[in-house]
């Protein structure tokens, strides 16, 4: 049988199921990654499972999100994570080493392997011929415990690339072109696989940029073949022996094909405030810009910073622009310096920050009121930057640097000749901030260090026979996890403290949400939320499920759900159901009580459709799109309860 790259990767890891689209499958996970903002919870869960050492080939714990240390809390979390890594056989990447996805690509990504990460941009490693998937922390904890990862076999979309990128366009423009075409929900339930002659025009970090941004289209993951370019990348990283050729078979069949001739691309930008609000830069030119940042897991590789440095040579940053560089990793920073190109950035007036996520998750770098900020980041969801009514545009490093020089949104093609980007054939390695796992005997003696902000997980009650839930909030389409559980410098330090972080659920939409939910919970009444299409898009943060559950939410009734968020809801015993008739959405309002009779029995019996009585009004129908395993988890109250039972 002829197979695509994604099919080869899945087939070689299948634990149960088949390649039949839309059916439940389970795959073996070779590697895991966590980051500090989701990691504390993931390791609390891992501890609760009670396994003496990770069972994966490789697990890495990165600290890259919560780098601001305005009090003891983040620093305590970092110490907890380091002690957990030492105790359980996990690599530890210390604060300042860089962004998990960039570092993983450099140091650990391996063609032919699977990676599960508690961060939605884990697919970045798909640029290196891996099957890399983002998931909630509990799913990653289960994978560290040696359990397979469960998902629905996605459709595989082939993106056939031909031609060559014109000067001053880059991988980001390919991703933006895709976002414009597919929107933020167009790749739900799909894997995006890039193939065709155009693929060889792209370096591994270009591919990683594209795979990274597939997340913003809702894709399960994105994959590239592992070819000669992959081999050279691994060689430059001193890991050529880990290379393995993985190409699609000649007769491989894709479920859909999208064609893109790279030579037709022009510089693009995602306008405020959604990654799919894409327009040509030529149409936006002239809008004044106050801040430009090059960074994030999508665009902070050595290639990107070399380009930026070459472009500013002999020029100065515009006086009204704060031009900021967040290098992806220490390796990137050190190699840039060794090439003599860091100085050029400094000389032109760039603000060089430490390696990490920083402003991408609202940890500093908030823009000024009513000003435009251009960023090479992944997401421009409203308010994510930390400033109300922010105007964040997502752009390539090329557009970023041209605009930083001009003081307004500028078409980089006007900068003149496109710089030659030559990268070393061997990178300088930097492992100063990596701590390797300890041998088992030593590891067992390690004491876990817990600060006062680290609060153990509560118990999760099983589902009652009949469920009554009062609607607390009704929201529209494309609600992001940043709406449900905001991030930023004030809230992120609470990631290991569920009671405290729960106070901020939906705080940007309804500041009284938590109070209302807790008042109902005290009366023994469950809560419900009504959503539109693509409910829960964005981050993998399980706090967006865990915190509502803590507040007593047991039902989410929406038009459709984003993949990771739906999995997180299930993992924490919240019932995700969809309207059988989307028009019923209009008929519901806050205050309505939803009655689910014999819900436990219906789930156990595998019911695909259930009736919901809206108390005192009418009855509507809802779809229950859940696997037998999902149903079991919801009935038991959480995946942890299932893990303990097993
Ligand atoms: C993000 O980009 O939104 C994050 C912060 O990296 C999240 C994870 C988190 O909320 O901790 C993600 O993408 O999964
Ligand atoms: Fe970090 Fe931003 Fe990437 Fe999330 S999207 S991992 S916050 S750099």
For ligand 2, atom 1: residue with the closest CA: 357
Architecture of domain 268-413: 2-Layer Sandwich (3.30)
pLDDT of residue 614: 98
**How far, in Å, CA of 518 to CA of 535, rounded?**
22
Query: What confidence category does residue 644 fall into, taking pLDDT thresholds of 50, 70 and 90?
Result: confident
Each residue's pLDDT tens digit, 128-145: 999 999 999 999 999 999
Nearest residue to 68 (alpha-carbon basis) of 34, 95, 30, 104: 95
Q: Confirm if 237 and 331 have CB atoms less than 8 A apart.
A: no
Question: Which residues lie across from 25 on neighbouring strands?
Answer: 151
Strands (E), 419-574: 434-435, 467-474, 526-530, 553-558
State mean pLDDT over 149-158: 98
CATH code for the part of the protein at 467-645:
3.20.19.10
pLDDT of residue 461: 96
Q: Is the CB of 99 under 6 A from ligand 1?
A: no
Each residue's pLDDT tens digit, 305-349: 999 999 999 999 999 999 999 999 999 999 999 999 999 999 999
State mean pLDDT over 593-618: 97
Q: Confirm if 99 and 294 have CB atoms less than 8 A apart.
A: no
State mean pLDDT over 111-126: 99
Strands (E), 47-110: 58-62, 91-93
State mean pLDDT over 340-360: 98
118 Cβ contact list (under 8 Å, min separation 6): 32, 33, 34, 35, 38, 39, 42, 134, 135, 136, 137, 139, 140, 540, 542
Nearest residue to 340 (alpha-carbon basis) of 431, 410, 424, 449: 424
3-state DSSP helix/strand/coil % of the chain, to nearest 5: 35, 20, 45
pLDDT of residue 458: 92
Q: Residues lining ligand 2, CB < 6 A?
A: 65, 99, 119, 121, 296-297, 357, 360-361, 377-378
Percent of the chain with pLDDT strictly greater than 90: 99
SS3 of residue 462 by DSSP: coil
Taking the CA of residue 119 as reference, the ligand 1 atom at the shortest distance is 14
Pocket test for ligand 1, best of 541, 544, 565, 568 (most atoms within 8 A of CB): 541
**How far, in Å, CA of 578 to CA of 532, rounded?**
9
95 pLDDT exceeds 90?
yes
Q: Is the CB of 543 under 6 A from ligand 1?
A: no
Q: How far, in Å, are 194, 254, 563 from residue 257 at the CA level?
A: 10, 6, 22
100-107 helix and 204-213 helix, angle to the nearest 10 degrees: 140
For tokens 């009554």, the residue is 468
pLDDT of residue 646: 85
State mean pLDDT over 488-497: 96
Taking the CA of residue 35 as reference, the ligand 2 atom at the shortest distance is 6
Each residue's pLDDT tens digit, 606-643: 999 999 999 999 999 999 999 999 999 999 999 999 99
587 DSSP assignment: G
For the CA atoms of 532, 538, 539, 542, the dihedral, rounded to the nearest 10 degrees, stands at 20
CATH homologous superfamily of domain 5-264?
Aconitase, domain 3 (3.30.499.10)
Query: What confidence category does residue 645 fall into, taking pLDDT thresholds of 50, 70 and 90?
Result: confident
> Where exactly are the structural domains of the chain?
5-264, 268-413, 467-645
Calculate the average pLDDT of the chain.
Answer: 98
User: For the whole model, what pTM was predicted?
Assistant: 0.98
Q: Which helix (H) or strand (E) holds 261?
A: strand 256-261
293 pLDDT exceeds 90?
yes
Nearest residue to 104 (alpha-carbon basis) of 205, 27, 14: 205
State the distance from the centre of ligand 2 to the C-alpha of 388, rounded, in angstroms: 20
**How far, in Å, CA of 7 to CA of 246, rounded?**
11
State mean pLDDT over 480-504: 97
Query: What confidence category does residue 83 fall into, taking pLDDT thresholds of 50, 70 and 90?
Result: very high
CATH topology identical between 5-264 and 268-413: yes
State mean pLDDT over 406-426: 97
Residues 429, 433, 437, 442, CA torsion sign:
positive
State the distance from the centre of ligand 2 to the C-alpha of 354, rounded, in angstroms: 14
Q: How many CA atoms lie within 13 A of 574 on its CB side?
A: 31
Each residue's pLDDT tens digit, 194-230: 999 999 999 999 999 999 999 999 999 999 999 999 9
């Amino acid at each position: 049988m002829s197979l695509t790259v994604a099919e080869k990767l899945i087939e070689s890891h299948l634990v149960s199921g088949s390649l039949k689209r839309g059916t439940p499958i389970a795959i073996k996970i070779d590697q895991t990654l966590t980051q500090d903002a989701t990691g504390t919870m993931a390791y609390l869960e891992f501890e609760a499972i009670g396994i003496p050492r990770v069972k994966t080939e490789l697990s890495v714990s990165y600290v890259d999100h919560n780098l601001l240390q305005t009090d003891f809390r983040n620093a305590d979390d970092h110490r907890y994570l380091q002690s957990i890594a030492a105790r359980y056989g996990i690599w530890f990447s210390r604060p300042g080493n860089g962004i998990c996805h960039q570092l993983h690509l450099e140091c650990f990504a391996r063609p032919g392997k699977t990676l599960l990460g508690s961060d939605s941009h884990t697919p970045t490693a798909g640029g290196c011929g891996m099957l890399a998937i983002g998931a909630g922390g509990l799913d990653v904890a289960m994978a560290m415990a040696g359990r397979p990862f469960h998902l629905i076999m996605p459709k595989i979309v082939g993106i056939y690339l031909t031609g060559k990128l014109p000067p001053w366009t880059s991988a980001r423009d390919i991703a933006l072109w895709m976002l414009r075409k597919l929107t933020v929900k167009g790749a739900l339930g799909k894997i995006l696989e890039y193939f065709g002659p155009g693929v060889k025009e792209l370096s591994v970090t270009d591919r990683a940029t594209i795979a990274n941004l597939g997340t913003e289209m809702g894709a399960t993951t994105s994959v590239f073949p592992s070819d000669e370019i992959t081999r050279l990348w691994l060689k430059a990283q001193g890991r050529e022996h880990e290379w393995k050729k993985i190409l699609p078979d000649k007769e491989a069949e894709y479920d859909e094909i999208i064609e893109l001739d790279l030579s037709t691309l022009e510089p693009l930008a995602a306008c405020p405030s959604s990654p799919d609000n894409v327009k040509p830069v030529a149409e936006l030119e002239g809008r004044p810009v106050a801040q430009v940042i090059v960074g994030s897991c999508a665009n902070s590789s050595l290639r990107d910073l070399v380009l930026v440095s070459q472009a500013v040579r002999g020029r100065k940053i515009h006086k009204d622009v704060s031009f900021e560089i967040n290098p992806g990793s220490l390796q990137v920073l050190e190699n840039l310096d060794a090439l003599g190109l860091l100085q050029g950035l400094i000389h032109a007036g760039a603000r060089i920050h430490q390696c990490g996520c920083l402003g991408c998750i609202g940890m500093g770098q908030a823009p000024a009121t009513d000003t435009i900020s251009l960023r090479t980041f992944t997401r421009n969801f409203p308010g994510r930057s930390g400033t109300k009514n922010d105007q964040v545009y997502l752009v390539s490093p090329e557009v970023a640097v041209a605009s930083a020089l001009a003081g307004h949104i500028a078409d980089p093609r006007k900068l003149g000749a496109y710089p030659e980007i030559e990268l070393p054939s061997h990178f300088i390695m930097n492992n100063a901030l990596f701590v390797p796992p300890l041998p088992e005997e030593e590891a067992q003696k390690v004491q876990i260090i817990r600060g006062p902000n680290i609060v153990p997980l509560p118990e999760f009650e099983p589902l009652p026979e009949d469920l009554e839930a009062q609607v607390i909030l009704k929201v529209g389409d494309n609600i992001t996890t940043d709406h449900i559980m905001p991030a930023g410098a004030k809230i992120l330090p609470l990631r290991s403290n569920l009671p405290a972080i729960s106070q901020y659920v939906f705080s940007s939409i309804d500041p009284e949400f938590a109070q209302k939910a807790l008042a109902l919970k005290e009366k023994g009444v469950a809560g419900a939320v009504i959503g539109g299409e693509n409910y829960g898009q964005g981050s993998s943060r399980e706090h967006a499920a865990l915190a509502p559950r803590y507040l007593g939410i047991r039902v989410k009734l929406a038009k459709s759900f984003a993949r990771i968020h739906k999995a997180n809801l299930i993992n924490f015993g919240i019932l995700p159901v969809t309207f059988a008739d989307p028009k019923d959405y209009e008929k519901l309002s806050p205050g309505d009580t939803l009655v689910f009779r014999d819900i436990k029995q219906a789930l156990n019996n595998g019911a695909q459709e259930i009736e919901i009585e809206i108390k005192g009004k009418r009855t509507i129908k809802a779809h229950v799109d859940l696997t037998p395993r999902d149903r079991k988890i919801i009935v038991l109250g959480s995946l942890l309860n299932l893990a303990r039972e097993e």
